[in-house]
Amino acid sequence: MTRLFRITEQGLVESRRKPLDLESRIEDWVARDLSLVGVDGFVIGRQVATDHGTRIDLLAMDEDGNLIIIELKRDRSPRDIVGQVLDYASWVRHLTTKDVHDLVRAAMGRSLPDLYRDRYGKAVPETLNASHQMIVVASEVDEATKRIIEYLSEEHDVGINASFFNIFGDQGHEWLTTDSLLDQEEVKDRAVKKARAPWSGLYYVTGGAEEDRPWEELRRYGFFTACGGRRYSNALDRLEIGAPIFYYQKNKGYLGYGLVTTAKMPATEFRLASGDLLPDVLPSGYVTDYADDPDMASYVVGVDWKRTFDRDEARWFSGIFANQNVVCKIYDQQTADFLREQFGVTHEESE
What DSSP string describes 77-110?
A: -HHHHHHHHHHHHHHHTT--HHHHHHHHHHHHSS
Q: What is the pLDDT of residue 24?
A: 73
Q: What is the pLDDT of residue 210?
A: 96
Helical spans, DSSP H, in 121-163: 143-156
CA-based nearest residue to 227, from 296, 291, 282? 296
Q: What is the pLDDT of residue 350?
A: 59
Cβ contact 298:233 at 8 Å = yes
Residue 7 identity (one-letter amino acid): I
Domain ranges of the chain: 5-195, 203-343
Q: What is the pLDDT of residue 1?
A: 63
In the chain (351 residues long), the average pLDDT of successive 10-residue segments reads 77 74 79 93 96 94 94 82 94 93 96 94 85 91 92 93 85 83 90 80 95 97 95 93 97 97 97 96 96 96 98 94 89 93 84 61
Q: Is the pTM for the entire model greater than 0.75?
A: no
Cβ contact 336:330 at 8 Å = yes
- What is the CATH topology of the domain spanning 203-343? ph1033 like fold (3.10.590)
Q: What is the pLDDT of residue 183?
A: 92
Architecture of domain 5-195: 3-Layer(aba) Sandwich (3.40)
Whole-angstrom distance, CA of residue 34 vs CA of residue 29: 8
Q: What is the pLDDT of residue 127?
A: 80
Q: What is the pLDDT of residue 22?
A: 64
**DSSP class of 228:** S
Q: What is the pLDDT of residue 149?
A: 94
Q: What is the pLDDT of residue 167?
A: 79
C-alpha distances out from residue 245 to 332, 338, 351, Å:
14, 14, 11
